[in-house]
Chain A
């Protein structure tokens, strides 16, 4: 098992290097050196730039160095938490990202948890009550969930929340809590602000996974070992939850790896609609304004997230299924 984890970690390390390379290449991609953009901007803010200052900037960005040295400088600075300076706002990239990344991550994780907590029991129920009325109703709702676009649902819920339930909409906190220290009241205020985002984010994935869970469980229930378990005299609930679900859950665990970054990216539109300060809108802005340090860093971080998601998925899978562990 330790061996297994070590191998995955080494793999992940190399993949991260590759990804960061690509990320940096993208940063470099726009025509003209980064420096030109920077100088342009400084000039526009007024004043003549002395030659010495330009030289200092050239050194700082290392534009005269070959690509691999530039990469090395960037990556070693990044590892120390300095991702460069955003051109647009002149803020440190790190500062702009961390907050939003935290919120995005929290939101996605909550949505993921929601997805699983809903998809697994409903999928199991649906499979064990096949061709009954509840199963048909669940199936119908699933197709609704799969086919309604997230932004539409977000808008509908938004309107309902404000009109019918008199709820605060937009942002993370009501003004009175924005700068207040954390308390139960603040937490409640937070939940009231973000639940729409969580539901909207999770709804598509939940519908999909419920379907997958149902189909898998139906397959597994036909397996001989389920009959063996019943023949032992086990309770039907033990047969289902202990012997069947564990074998049916593979694809769900595997989907974890891709779900995490998909959720982070998927929230963009919803975050814009609900004006939540997450990473998605920031990424979009960065791309639009060619704020390449910012965009590249976000790209690398999302990729890292994907890899971490995959690692967690692999570990979970190994825990669920001994065949993976020992191969």
Chain B
């Protein structure tokens, strides 16, 4: 029951895992959408860090803000960042840049995008421009950040296509996206994202749209390249199986907040937050009798225009403490005896 306040933390972030070796540290990030129907508070103080060379899984139900967190780091979110910091440190530098302070379309931000931080999206079928060849689209990033020499850019594009396991990379480079299958397009996207050896790769459900075999291949590939290049990955998914296979650490999000954060093993074997526990129960498992109903989390996510008082999970929480959970927002605290496992729940304070 330790409550460790960090210098950077604000009232709502109690615990922060401090590491000298983080590539990115997000602190109390708040993001809103001003729509005609009202204000959507999509992120309500998200804090986490991604250690160098590690894969952090970010999981949570649809709409909890996973994609918007990733897009905020790229400064590509259509919403308005209302507060917080996103501290980024590129390879071999000690200097931290606060991404939130950079101009969205300014040269500093553009130098980071695609070069130091790159992103892969969920839909491989639509994430490449149908009007240009795959090679051209990869070369575009290389020409922008790495070299002015077109022949060299071409050579590097073909190289990286070979690296992501494309058969006949020269031919693929001259193909248009519609000539490739979904799996090949996702490989091409990975090639594009890794073409400038980024410090951080944000992968937003990169395999959700693929079949299981292709998914396994793509995951293997990402893991392999991650080891080779040393890139840190923020891996967004809602598939716990994928988390087990890919990630070193996991952060669980609920309604625009991170409610639990731990190493993969701790999360799977010793989940603390009631939401995480039910999330893990809802995964189908081998050996469980066929026909037995999977447990689903009761209730639904509240509508995005309203704010819930107290712990945002309390309307659905089986362990909610009346009088406390529905009025007081729990702080993020370390789980007893751990320096890496944090949770945001009154049961542990």
Contact = CB atoms under 8 A, between A and B. Distances in A.
A323 B130 CA distance: 8
B113 A233 contact: yes
B128 A228 contact: yes
A243 B144 contact: no
A225 B144 contact: no
Contacts of B192: 228, 232
A232 B119 CA distance: 8
Contact of B105 (A236, A247, A321): A236
A27 B149 CA distance: 64
A227, A228, A233, A321 interface centre (most CB from chain B within 10 Å): A233
Nearest to A243: B129
A224 B144 contact: no
A266 to B, nearest CB: 32
Interface in B200-252: none
A114 B112 CA distance: 41
Contacts of A247: 129-131
A175 interface: no
Nearest to B177: A225
Contacts of B76: 227, 230-231
B131 A231 contact: no
Contact of B176 (A236, A243, A323): A323
A229 to B, nearest CB: 7
A234 B140 contact: yes
A243 B126 CA distance: 13
A232 B144 contact: yes
B190 interface: no
Interface in A305-327: 320-323, 326
Given A227-B121, A228-B121, A234-B110, A322 B115 contact: no
A322 B114 contact: no
Q: Is the interface of A mostly helix, strand, loop or mixed?
A: helix
A223 interface: yes
B61 interface: no
- Which of B131, B189, B192 is packed against the most chain A CB atoms within 10 Å? B131
Contacts of B111: 233
B110 A233 contact: yes
Given A230-B113, A231-B113, A321 B131 contact: yes
B179 interface: yes
B156 interface: no
Contacts of A230: 74, 76, 113
Interface string B114-152: 110011010100111111010001001100110000000
Nearest to A236: B105
A235 interface: yes
Which of A227, A234, A321 is packed against the most chain B CB atoms within 10 Å? Answer: A227
B126 A233 contact: no
Interface residues of B, number: 30
B178 interface: yes
B176 A233 contact: no
Given A322-B176, A326-B179, A233 B131 contact: no
Interface in A277-327: 320-323, 326
A234 B137 CA distance: 11
A236 B137 CA distance: 16
Contacts of B145: 233
Given A225-B126, A247-B131, A321-B131, A232 B113 contact: yes
A234 B192 CA distance: 13
Nearest to A327: B178
Interface string A202-238: 0000000000000000000001110111111111100
Interface of B: 74, 76, 105, 110-115, 118-119, 121, 123, 126-131, 133, 137, 140-141, 144-145, 176, 178-179, 189, 192
Given A228-B129, A233-B111, A234-B110, 17 more contacts: A225-B129, A225-B130, A227-B127, A228-B189, A230-B74, A232-B113, A232-B140, A233-B144, A233-B145, A234-B114, A234-B140, A243-B129, A247-B131, A321-B131, A322-B176, A322-B178, A323-B130
19 contacts: A224-B123, A225-B130, A227-B121, A228-B129, A229-B129, A231-B114, A232-B192, A233-B110, A233-B112, A233-B113, A233-B145, A234-B140, A243-B129, A247-B131, A320-B131, A321-B131, A323-B130, A326-B176, A326-B178
Closest 9 interchain pairs by CB? A233-B114, A232-B114, A233-B113, A224-B126, A225-B129, A224-B127, A233-B110, A232-B141, A322-B176
